Amino acid sequence: MTETSITRSQPAPAGLSLPGPYLLFLGDTTEPGFAKTAFGLRDWAGERCRGEYVLPGGSVSTGLPAMTPAQAHAAGARAMVIGVANAGGFIPGHWVAALVEGLEAGLDIVSGMHTGLDEVPGLAEAARRHGRRLHDVRRAPPGIAVANGRRRSGQRLLTIGTDCALGKKYTALALARAFRARGVDADFRASGQTGILIAGGGIPMDAVVSDFAAGAAEMLSPDAAPGHWDVIEGQGSLFHPAYAGVSLALLHGSQPDALVVCHQPGRRAMLGYPGYPVPSIEETITMAIRLGQRTNPGIRCTGVSLNTSHLDAEAAARLIEDESRRLDCPVADPMRGGEAFERLVDECLEAA
Whether residues 188 and 282 fall in one domain: yes
| 11 domain residue, yes or no | no
Cα gap 43→62, rounded to integer Å: 9
Distance in Å from the first CA to the final CA of the chain: 48
Last residue of a domain, one of 68, 103, 136: 136
Whether residues 65 and 204 fall in one domain: no
Domain count within the chain: 2
| 9 domain residue, yes or no | no
Q: Tens digits of per-residue pLDDT, 81-126?
A: 999 988 778 899 999 999 999 999 999 999 999 899 999 999 999 9
| Residue 37 near residue 85, CB atoms below 8 Å | yes
Given a cut of 70, whether residue 7 has pLDDT beyond it is: no
Range list of β-strands (E), the chain = 6-7, 22-27, 49-54, 79-82, 108-111, 134-136, 155-161, 186-189, 229-232, 258-263, 269-270, 273-277, 300-306, 331-332
Whether residues 128 and 159 fall in one domain: no
Cα gap 121→146, rounded to integer Å: 35
Q: Tens digits of per-residue pLDDT, 258-315?
A: 999 999 999 999 988 999 999 999 999 999 999 999 999 999 999 999 999 999 999 9
Residues 6+ apart with CB under 8 A from 59: 29, 30
| Residue 26 near residue 84, CB atoms below 8 Å | yes
Report which of 32, 83, 86, 19 is spatially closest to residue 53, judged by C-alpha positions. Answer: 83
| Residue 247 near residue 282, CB atoms below 8 Å | no
CA–CA distances in Å: residue 6 to residues 11, 18, 35: 17, 11, 24
pLDDT value at position 128? 97
Strand partners, 51: 23
Report which of 314, 315, 342, 318 is spatially closest to residue 330, judged by C-alpha positions. Answer: 342
Report which of 90, 86, 98 is spatially closest to residue 55, judged by C-alpha positions. Answer: 98
For residues 210-223, give the mean pLDDT: 97
Whether residues 207 and 330 fall in one domain: yes
Q: Tens digits of per-residue pLDDT, 317-346?
A: 999 999 999 999 999 999 999 999 999 999
Cα gap 242→175, rounded to integer Å: 27
Whether residues 30 and 163 fall in one domain: no
Cα gap 46→41, rounded to integer Å: 6
Residues 6+ apart with CB under 8 A from 66: 51, 52, 53, 54
Domain carrying residue 94: 17-136
| 4 domain residue, yes or no | no
Whether residues 83 and 200 fall in one domain: no
CATH of the domain at 159: 3.40.50.300
Whether residues 225 and 302 fall in one domain: yes
Strand partners, 136: 111
Last residue of a domain, one of 69, 101, 136: 136
| 98 domain residue, yes or no | yes
Strand pairing class (229-232; 258-263): unpaired
Whether residues 76 and 171 fall in one domain: no
| 56 domain residue, yes or no | yes
CATH of the domain at 92: 3.40.50.720
Cα gap 305→172, rounded to integer Å: 10
Strand pairing class (269-270; 6-7): unpaired
DSSP per-residue string spanning 219-264: HHS----TT-EEEEPP-S-TT-TTTHHHHHHHHHHH--SEEEEEE-
Percentage of the chain surpassing pLDDT 70? 95
Whether residues 39 and 121 fall in one domain: yes
Whether residues 120 and 256 fall in one domain: no
Whether residues 129 and 169 fall in one domain: no
pLDDT value at position 327? 98
Report which of 189, 323, 351, 177 is spatially closest to residue 263, judged by C-alpha positions. Answer: 323
The overall average pLDDT reported for the chain is 93
Whether residues 40 and 128 fall in one domain: yes
| 345 domain residue, yes or no | yes
Given a cut of 70, whether residue 49 has pLDDT beyond it is: yes
